[in-house]
């Protein structure tokens, strides 16, 4: 029996077992940018996804891939990582939620900010609520929708001979975290770029021409390809269980952010919601 659409339910109602499973990854606002960069290579695209900047044990901002990439474009050298502090690059707007926050309110905030991450306060602790967290609802989804029902969006491509500056600008201008290598099912992401900067390039130490380098310095990852349309439940499960979630069908790409529009719909329900509530 169908009950309320998922978007009218609370976070506690749709995620009764996993809502408090992921503490935030925190960093001090006075830490250097290199510390944030080193941490993000492990947390981007995970259940945590963003770093929560703390001041006197309270959240004061967020740092994610966008913040590193946009600042590298402004200051593409070692000085950014060695001498700048996190509070100078952080995003100072964030959304605090509770277990009673409605899914519709959460999704609306995420759609507006393009940053699918919130902070949940529970028993004096802070927990991460990311789009990966929300994908955990897949066992309870009740809908006949498939990937065919997800609006098509422009797939942003890049070529290996493009300079890094063009690659970073492509990401920012198109508000995307991933670019598909033309003619392939491979892609690069903010995580891959940040990992390269923090490891092989040693935070751009003694490197003055990073933005002019060829994008071939980045090792693309392979997206999971599907040959036919699959149910929304299966897509959520696939994205939730992948280390680095990205799915391609023909020319259409699917990332966790695409699920926001689906969960906002009034024809997406949860199975056995009354049983879960009890």
Whether residues 11 and 111 share a domain: the answer is yes
pTM of the model: 0.92
Helix residue ranges per DSSP H, the chain: 11-14, 33-43, 65-74, 78-83, 103-113, 131-135, 164-173, 190-198, 232-241, 259-263, 273-277
Span 224-243, average pLDDT:
94
Q: What are phi and psi of 190, to 5 degrees?
A: -60, -35
Whether residues 134 and 10 share a domain: the answer is yes
In a domain, 152, yes or no: yes
Domain of 173, in residue numbers: 142-263
C-alpha to C-alpha distances, 207 to 77, 79, 203, 212, nearest whole angstrom: 7, 11, 9, 11
Whether residues 34 and 134 share a domain: the answer is yes
Burial 187-205 (b: 16+ CB within 10 A, else e): bbbbbbbbbbbbeebebbe
Span 181-192, average pLDDT:
96
Whether residues 34 and 11 share a domain: the answer is yes
* Cα Rg, the chain, nearest whole Å: 19
Whether residues 82 and 150 share a domain: the answer is no
Rounded distance between C-alpha atoms, residue 241 and residue 107, angstroms: 21
Task: Decide if pLDDT at 171 tops 90.
Answer: yes
Sign of CA dihedral 72, 77, 78, 82: negative
Rounded distance between C-alpha atoms, residue 52 and residue 29, angstroms: 9
In a domain, 60, yes or no: yes
| Listed residue (204, 213, 242) closest to 225, CA to CA | 242
Span 204-225, average pLDDT:
96
Whether residues 110 and 61 share a domain: the answer is yes
In a domain, 277, yes or no: no
Rounded distance between C-alpha atoms, residue 74 and residue 246, angstroms: 28
In a domain, 236, yes or no: yes
Q: What is the pLDDT of residue 251?
A: 83
Rounded distance between C-alpha atoms, residue 193 and residue 169, angstroms: 13
In a domain, 268, yes or no: no
Span 60-79, average pLDDT:
97
Rounded distance between C-alpha atoms, residue 249 and residue 49, angstroms: 25
Task: Decide if pLDDT at 268 tops 80.
Answer: yes
158 is written with which tokens?
């890049």
What's the pLDDT tens digit per position in 111-142? 999 899 999 998 889 999 999 999 999 998 99
Whether residues 46 and 59 share a domain: the answer is yes
Whether residues 149 and 254 share a domain: the answer is yes
Which residues share a beta bridge with 141? 270
CATH number of domain containing 205? 3.10.580.10
Whether residues 201 and 129 share a domain: the answer is no
Whether residues 160 and 249 share a domain: the answer is yes
**Of the residues 111, 141, 171, the one at which a domain ends:** 141
Q: What are phi and psi of 221, to 5 degrees?
A: -100, 160
Q: What is the pLDDT of residue 220?
A: 96
How many Cβ atoms from other residues are within 10 Å of residue 148's Cβ? 12
Task: Decide if pLDDT at 277 tops 60.
Answer: no
Q: What is the pLDDT of residue 131?
A: 93
Helix residue ranges per DSSP H, 178-272: 190-198, 232-241, 259-263
Whether residues 57 and 95 share a domain: the answer is yes
Whether residues 147 and 115 share a domain: the answer is no
Span 103-111, average pLDDT:
95
Task: Decide if pLDDT at 275 tops 90.
Answer: no
Span 20-39, average pLDDT:
96
Say how many domains are in the chain. Answer: 2
In a domain, 269, yes or no: no
């Amino acid at each position: 029996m169908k009950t309320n659409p998922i978007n009218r339910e609370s976070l506690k109602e749709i995620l009764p077992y996993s809502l408090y499973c992921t503490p935030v990854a925190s960093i001090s606002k006075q830490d250097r940018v290199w510390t944030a960069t080193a941490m993000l290579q492990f947390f981007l695209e995970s259940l945590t996804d963003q770093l929560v900047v703390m001041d006197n044990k309270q959240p004061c901002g967020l740092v994610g891939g966008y913040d590193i990439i946009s600042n590298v474009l402004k200051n593409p050298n070692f000085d950014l990582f060695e001498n700048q502090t996190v509070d100078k690059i952080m995003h100072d707007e964030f959304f605090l939620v509770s277990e009673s926050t409605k899914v519709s309110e959460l999704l609306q905030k995420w759609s507006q900010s393009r940053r699918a991450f919130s902070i949940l306060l529970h028993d004096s602790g802070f927990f991460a609520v990311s789009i990966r967290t929300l994908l955990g609802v897949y066992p309870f989804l009740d809908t006949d929708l498939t990937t065919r029902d997800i609006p098509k969006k422009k797939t942003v491509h890049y070529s290996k001979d493009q300079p890094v500056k063009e690659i970073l600008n492509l990401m920012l201008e198109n508000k995307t975290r991933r670019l598909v290598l033309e003619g392939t099912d491979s892609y690069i992401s903010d995580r891959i770029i940040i990992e390269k900067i923090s490891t092989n390039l040693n935070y751009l130490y003694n490197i003055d021409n990073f933005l002019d380098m060829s994008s071939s310095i980045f090792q693309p990852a392979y997206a999971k390809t599907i040959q036919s349309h699959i149910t929304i439940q299966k897509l959520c499960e696939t994205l939730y269980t992948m280390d680095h979630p990205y799915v391609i069908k023909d020319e259409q790409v699917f990332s966790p952010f695409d699920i926001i529009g689906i969960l906002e719909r009034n024809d997406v329900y949860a199975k056995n919601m009354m049983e879960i509530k009890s």
